[in-house]
Amino acid sequence: MDRRTFLKTSGLSAGIGGAFGAGSMTAGASHRQTNTADRFLAADSSNYSAANRGTAEIDWIVVHCTVGSYTSAIDWFRDPSANVSAHYVISNYEHTAYDPGHVTQMVHHEDMAWHASGTNSSSIGIEHEWHSDYGGYFTEECYQASAAVVRELADQYDIPLEYYEYGSARCNQAGGIIGHRHAPQDAYCNDLPSKSCPGPDWDPDTFMDYVRNGDGGGGGGGGDGAFEMEDGAMTTTDLNGRSGPGLDYDVVETLPEGSVGRIMNGPETADGITWWGLHFSKQDAWVWCSGNYLAEVAFFMDESVVTTASSLNARDGPGLGYDVVETLPQGTTATVVNGPTDADGIRWWGLHVPDYGIWAWCSGNYLASNE
């Protein structure tokens, strides 16, 4: 198989790649979009607007309080008669069914939740459990979990980490964080909602201290940030690559989920995030990325590898159902040019094997670095 056919088969162009074909590691249609979220439970489809928003459309994060329990808010957003929703709901109290700081995502970022009339199209909404019957306060765990979600959103959508407490902010600022009561209902920022949400118990200063300084977050999963120089690292979501280690640096490349790079610098800590400098050879990008969205992988693009099995089948696709195009003897050298893709319980890597003039897929179980 020649290089062009090989790359097309795997869903990549012959030049810069980013998409993956069947068997890729991309998550399904209903999935968490931040590592902080503990789960995804979809709101009823009648309670939000399906859309295709991207970075250019999302500028604001709107803070809400539920005036009810965590579980009742989730149940309400799943009720088709509600006509309301939020992207996230976060638990707050110790004596309810979930520990404080439990995070449920309910609407995908690209879709418009119905949480702040007039601001829905440009924002992501976060509900925080609160009710006077439970004591009318916000726990540190709730602040911490929300701050972790906000940091992830700010990184993904380049949202400024500024909290505004006046209604015209949406009209004269590039973006940021606002409470529901400061989210205008009209295009001219004159019509504010008649609400006190998130209420007098919400402390923006405490919240922003957690946002800017880190300290915790919800459950979820993701990279632990522990890499060594020249490790391979794969993005676990579409990820902004920045010109320096911090949210204030420019985004120079948005790397598709599944992009594989090589750790070349770091770690550096800024904005409560551990940053790593990487080289992504397919994109020819030298960038800094949040370690929250990086997972260690065995190899990086363009790495020289060697086969370790006495004979290793090289296939024309990533899986046991693909045809064997060559059987490689132990000690054969190759260059990693694609992957990883998981199929049949095996992690497959796309290789260029110059001695045989082929582009093929091999099991990573029988490959070792040759560098």
Instruction: Please report, for residues 88, 141, 146, 213, the alpha-carbon distance to residue 178 in angstroms, rounded to integers and kept in the order given.
Output: 15, 20, 13, 19
Per residue in 51-101, pLDDT (tens digit) is 999 888 999 999 999 999 999 999 999 999 999 999 999 999 987 778 999
Handedness of CA 298, 302, 305, 311 (dihedral sign): positive
pTM comes to: 0.63
Task: Quote the pLDDT of residue 214.
Answer: 66
Q: Are 337 and 302 in contact (CB under 8 A)?
A: yes
Per-residue confidence band for 12, with pLDDT thresholds at 50, 70 and 90 = very low
Neighbours of 314 (CB within 10 A): 23
Q: What is the side-by-side order of every strand in the sheet holding 232-235?
A: 251-255, 239-242, 285-290, 273-280, 260-270, 232-235, 294-297
Give the three-class secondary structure for 134. helix
Alpha carbon distance 273, 285 (integer Å): 21
Task: Quote the pLDDT of residue 345.
Answer: 80
What one-character DSSP code corresponds to residue 33? S
Per residue in 244-287, pLDDT (tens digit) is 999 889 999 999 989 999 999 999 998 888 999 999 998 999 99
The amino acid present at 355, given as its one-letter code, is D
Domains of the chain: 3-19+301-369 (2.30.30.40), 39-213 (3.40.80.10), 232-297 (2.30.30.40)
Instruction: Please report, for residues 13, 149, 308, the alpha-carbon distance to residue 21 in angstroms, rounded to integers and kept in the order given.
Output: 11, 30, 27
Per residue in 158-191, pLDDT (tens digit) is 898 999 998 888 888 889 999 999 998 887 888 8
